[in-house]
Amino acid sequence: MKTLAAIFLAGALAASAAAQNLTAQGASVADASGAERATFSSAESVTLRQKVSIAATSPNPVSFTFKIIAPSGAAVFSHTGNSAPGTSGGAQSQLAGISIPSFYTIPGLYTFKAVAVLDAETVTQQATFMISSPNITLIYPPNGVRGLSDDPLIFRWTASGASRYRITVADNAGLYNAAHVAVNSGEALYSYPANPSQPREQLVPDQVYYWRVEGLDASNNAISESNTYSFSRKSQATSQSRNVAITALDLGSPALDYEKPLNFKAVLSNTGSTTESNISVKMSLGGIPAQDSPKQVITIAPGEKREIPFTAFMPAGQDEGLAVACADLFDDNMTDNCKTRLLSKNSGDVTQTKPPKKLSYDEMFQEILKRLGPDAAKALEGYTFESLTCAGCSQDDLAAIISALISGEAQLVNASVLDLGAGTSAGQPQAAASSSGETAAAEPVETNLDIAEIKDGTPGEWTGFTEPLKARGGSGLVIRDRKEWKKFWKTISAEEVPDVDFGAKMVVGIIAGKGDRAESVRILGQRKTDDGIAFDYYFIEAPAGEKVDLSAYLLKLYDRSEEKAEFKRLDVKK
């Protein structure tokens, strides 16, 4: 037995000595310029390198294998065939110019697995690197807005996957001979200088300007680009101002029974210097429009106030509901166009009786994911909000606020999609929502939003129900001539065909599908795309258990466009 033990021990020592002939010297990932990095965008290319050391010369070569593992654990790239002489000393190999789009799946942490083999020895090394998907969506100023009076004028956007951003402002849509070009340090905003150094950089009142944002990588290469938006400044010579505000939102009578209708009073005030007309005032409770929303205010003079009554129900199964009233007018101060009030079945009217509480990221993000649904949650893998705070909120409070965000009755301020592993931040975004008083919404993404309940009789809009479509999903349509309009109208209504000037307008329609259970249809807005134009829409579903036999539809007039139209449904079917 002692002899056998000595033999085994000698064998072990020999194997140990042999294993030291090939040792790891490092694996790395570099960009197109050869600089080693840990963060890349999905539009770049990479170079993979691995190094080893050979203690004793071998007649055989060292063979190298290169693999890339996705965040999911799946191998998305593999290459073999590279080799180097087995001469003692250092040996290395690399693969250059590997296009990230060729293996990219989702944003996240990828692993470069480097394998070197010499004779019977194998050395495995690893290097991790982050890939983010660059994306830029312009927020403010919204496309087509005229007469801005902001001082300073702050451009805002949401973005990800870039180290810094370049903003270009010009007086032509092609952005030739730009009036102003600047590069920031990674924030998702830029404040236009009040006193620029060059005269041509001064923004002239009433002149239409165009702006665009590009994402840059660490080497200042453009890796993403936004659409181009337009705006104009307000003439400084005029003394007129436009501003309407919802200054109060109160219960008209004590809420003794939340199973019965609740009577609200919204106060609309004209604090500007011009008479405003045809203002749509909308109100919702718990994300559900009031029975008589929207209401039209024909005219309101400067300094005048109007009390507007609404009737709404607390949503079934909810202990709390966020009441929101908004005036639909793009004026000089959007921040006061809305007012919110949080009501509770347990404690009546909530007026900051709870101690302030800052919600953690986990609480916030989980609540958002529950409302977005599994498909949207999967699409958000690798992304997060930096923070979302709400003074005096519980998770139920937050649920009501998120419901308002999803329905369009409230907005996120300075919200950006971030990639925390990128090492750089697209600004310091923070989304804030208020449980009472004014909403934190200040900056609409589009100029022609229409997110309130749509009633028959609203100029340029028609809504109702028709026979279910054969398709299970919703369907969008664009009508650009009277013959087609007349033919379509007869399929949904026996009334006289509405007169439409198809020389200047077109009809955009959404019809719910057979399985949508929609009780109303909302078009959130129109936006420009690379291929044409797109219309974002969503459905308000009927309560669970309620039978839906017909398909809801919405038809709406827009300025005529010959561009290709696409339709995108925003809500997630439950």
- For residues 144 and 209, membership in a common domain is answered with yes
Put residue 435 in one of left, alpha, beta given phi > 0 → left and psi -120 to 50 → alpha. alpha
CA 175 to chain centre: 25
Where does 313-402 show beta strands of DSSP type E?
Answer: 320-328, 338-344, 348-349, 388-389
Of 182, 198, 233, which closes a domain?
233
Tally of structural domains, the chain: 4
Q: Which amino acid is at 137?
A: T
The CATH code of the domain that includes 69 is: 2.60.40.3880
Give bridge partners of residue 235 from the DSSP assignment.
none
Of 445, 467, 495, which closes a domain?
445
Which pTM value belongs to this model? 0.32
The Cα 563–Cα 444 span in angstroms is: 24
Q: Is residue 4 part of a domain?
A: no
Put residue 141 in one of left, alpha, beta given phi > 0 → left and psi -120 to 50 → alpha. beta
- For residues 464 and 491, membership in a common domain is answered with yes
Tokens representing 498 are: 């509405």
The Cα 255–Cα 343 span in angstroms is: 9
Q: Is residue 94 part of a domain?
A: yes
429 and 459 Cβ atoms separated by less than 8 Å: no
- For residues 544 and 499, membership in a common domain is answered with yes
Long-range CB contacts (within 8 A, 24+) of 401-404: 401/322, 401/433, 401/435, 402/367, 402/368, 402/371, 403/286, 403/287, 403/322, 403/371, 404/284, 404/287, 404/322, 404/324, 404/340
Please report where in the chains the tokens 């909530």 appear, as a residue. Answer: 350
- For residues 260 and 360, membership in a common domain is answered with yes
Q: Is residue 10 part of a domain?
A: no
Tokens representing 283 are: 């109100």
Q: Is residue 149 part of a domain?
A: yes
The Cα 87–Cα 190 span in angstroms is: 57
pLDDT digits (tens, 9 = 90+) for 284-342: 887 778 878 888 888 888 888 889 998 888 776 666 778 888 888 777 777 778 888 88
Comparing CA positions, the residue from 283, 281, 523, 334 lying closest to residue 443 is: 334
pLDDT digits (tens, 9 = 90+) for 444-460: 333 232 333 333 445 67
Of 181, 214, 233, which closes a domain?
233
- For residues 69 and 51, membership in a common domain is answered with yes
- For residues 50 and 113, membership in a common domain is answered with yes
- For residues 343 and 436, membership in a common domain is answered with yes
The Cα 39–Cα 191 span in angstroms is: 27
Please give the DSSP secondary-structure letter assigned to residue 335: G
- For residues 367 and 386, membership in a common domain is answered with yes
Diameter over CA atoms, the chain: 109
Alpha-carbon distances of 98 from 65, 112, 273, rounded to whole Å: 14, 12, 62
- In this structure, is the dihedral angle defined by the CA atoms of residues 489, 490, 494 and 496, taken in order, positive or negative? positive
φ, ψ (nearest 5 deg) of residue 421 = -85, 0
Q: CA geometry: angle at 411 spanning 292 and 506, to 5°?
A: 65
The CATH code of the domain that includes 348 is: 2.60.40.10
Q: Is residue 145 part of a domain?
A: yes
Helix (H) or strand (E) holding 353: none
181 and 168 Cβ atoms separated by less than 8 Å: yes
φ, ψ (nearest 5 deg) of residue 448 = -110, 55
Provide the pairing of β-strand 551-559 with 532-541: unpaired
- For residues 60 and 36, membership in a common domain is answered with yes
The Cα 355–Cα 175 span in angstroms is: 51
Q: Is residue 7 part of a domain?
A: no
Q: Is residue 5 part of a domain?
A: no
pLDDT in tens, the chain (574 residues): 343 333 333 343 444 444 578 999 999 999 888 889 888 877 788 999 999 999 999 999 999 999 999 988 899 999 998 999 989 999 999 999 899 888 988 777 899 999 999 998 999 999 999 887 667 888 888 888 888 888 888 999 877 667 789 999 999 988 999 999 999 988 889 999 988 888 889 898 888 999 999 888 777 777 778 889 999 988 754 556 778 889 888 887 666 666 778 888 999 999 888 888 888 898 888 777 887 888 888 888 888 888 999 888 877 666 677 888 888 877 777 777 888 888 775 444 433 334 444 445 555 666 565 555 555 555 555 555 544 445 455 555 555 665 555 444 454 443 433 333 333 333 333 333 333 333 333 333 332 323 333 334 456 788 888 877 665 566 889 999 999 998 888 888 778 888 899 888 999 998 888 778 887 888 877 888 888 888 888 888 777 777 777 888 889 998 898 999 988 887 654 4
The Cα 84–Cα 57 span in angstroms is: 12
The Cα 435–Cα 452 span in angstroms is: 20
Give bridge partners of residue 476 from the DSSP assignment.
510
- For residues 197 and 219, membership in a common domain is answered with yes
- For residues 116 and 256, membership in a common domain is answered with no
- In this structure, is the dihedral angle defined by the CA atoms of residues 350, 354, 360 and 362, taken in order, positive or negative? negative
Tokens representing 446 are: 């589009």
Q: Is residue 423 part of a domain?
A: yes
- For residues 419 and 300, membership in a common domain is answered with yes
The Cα 445–Cα 439 span in angstroms is: 16
φ, ψ (nearest 5 deg) of residue 482 = -65, -35
Provide the pairing of β-strand 39-41 with 121-132: parallel
Q: Which domain holds residue 558?
A: 454-574
The Cα 358–Cα 95 span in angstroms is: 48
